[in-house]
Amino acid sequence: MSVAIENFVKAIYKNGKRDNNDTKPGNIAKELGISNAAATDMAKKLATKDLLNYKKYQELKLTDKGTKMALNVVRKHRLWEALLFKLFDMSLHDIHREAELLEHQTSDLLANKISEYLGNPKFDPHGDPIPNEDGEITTTDTSIPLSNTEEGKTYTISRLMSDDKEFFDFCAQNGLKYGNSILISKQFSKNKMTQILINNNTILLNQDFTSIIYVNEQD
């Protein structure tokens, strides 16, 4: 299956989630930056491949096969994002752009290797869920914001729920990275600040940050 097809089913999947199912050709076309005519053509073609159900003037609906393909691409995208984020100092924006291309050139084998290397994470650095090999998504998230942690305990960073460049610059400077360990040295209940120890550095964070940094308790 081609890159164009993978992107098409992915766009339907994402648009379906976001815009309460407005998956008519025009919407998909806008998402992909192609003409409406091209989207209609592609929709017809994919219907013959049993990837979606197509009825004139109606919303495009992915079949089980189509959904599975979309989830497979999403899985690879998010695994790449998680890996690049862990290994390299790159902005999430740049990482996203690379993942957008790499996702289509990744065997299932390699995807599994990346997943395994990362400890089979259920969420990517944005906090978006990573589908597993069978396309299953974990919706229940056991991680909690830093603001809800307990003094003296050690946690692992699981999500950095932001798209803000400044926030990520701050994270990069202070070792706040997906997977890294944090010891909560003090919770100031009065002003809602949190003092943490990371990489042998003590940092004080305010609630703007502790509410978007998610962690899991270490066992």
Partner DNA sequence: AAAAATATTTAAGCTTACTTAAAAATATTT
Partner DNA sequence: AAATATTTTTAAGTAAGCTTAAATATTTTT
What gap in Å lies between CA 167 and CA 184, rounded to an integer? 20
What gap in Å lies between CA 87 and CA 106, rounded to an integer? 18
Q: Which of 9, 11, 12, 43 touches DNA by CB under 7 A?
A: 43
Measured between alpha carbons, how far apart are the two ends of the chain, in Å?
A: 42
The amino acid at residue 186 is K
Chain positions 67 to 96 lying near a copy of itself, rule: CB under 8 A, are 84, 87-90, 94
Q: How far is the CB of 129 from a copy of itself (least distance, A)?
A: 23
For a copy of itself, the closer CB: 105 or 201? 105
Kindly report the backbone phi and psi dihedral angles of residue 150, in degrees, each rounded to the nearest multiple of 5, phi listed first.
Answer: -110, 140
Instruction: Compose the 108-147 pattern: x for residues touching a copy of itself by CB under 8 A, - for all others.
Output: -xx--xx-xx------------------------------
Q: Which of 15, 27, 106, 187 touches DNA by CB under 7 A?
A: 27
Q: Which of 9, 11, 12, 29 touches DNA by CB under 7 A?
A: 29
Q: Dihedral angle at the C-alpha atoms of 84, 85, 87, 91, nearest 10 degrees?
A: 90
Verify binding: residue 186, a copy of itself, rule CB under 8 A: no
Verify binding: residue 192, DNA, rule CB under 7 A: no
Q: How far is the CB of 2 from DNA (least distance, A)?
A: 3
Tokens 């049993």 sit on residue: 50
Query: 3-state class of 171 per DSSP?
Result: helix
Verify binding: residue 151, DNA, rule CB under 7 A: no
Q: Which of 164, 180, 170, 165 is nearest to 214 (CA)?
A: 180
Q: Which of 2, 48, 105, 191 touches DNA by CB under 7 A?
A: 2
Number of residues that bind a copy of itself (CB under 8 A): 20
Query: 3-state class of 160 per DSSP?
Result: strand
Q: How many residues make up the chain in this entry? A: 219
Window contacting a copy of itself (CB under 8 A); options: 16-24, 101-109, 170-178, 205-213: 101-109
Kindly report the backbone phi and psi dihedral angles of residue 218, in degrees, each rounded to the nearest multiple of 5, phi listed first.
Answer: -85, 140
Residues that bind a copy of itself (CB under 8 A): 84, 87-90, 94, 97-98, 101-102, 104-107, 109-110, 113-114, 116-117
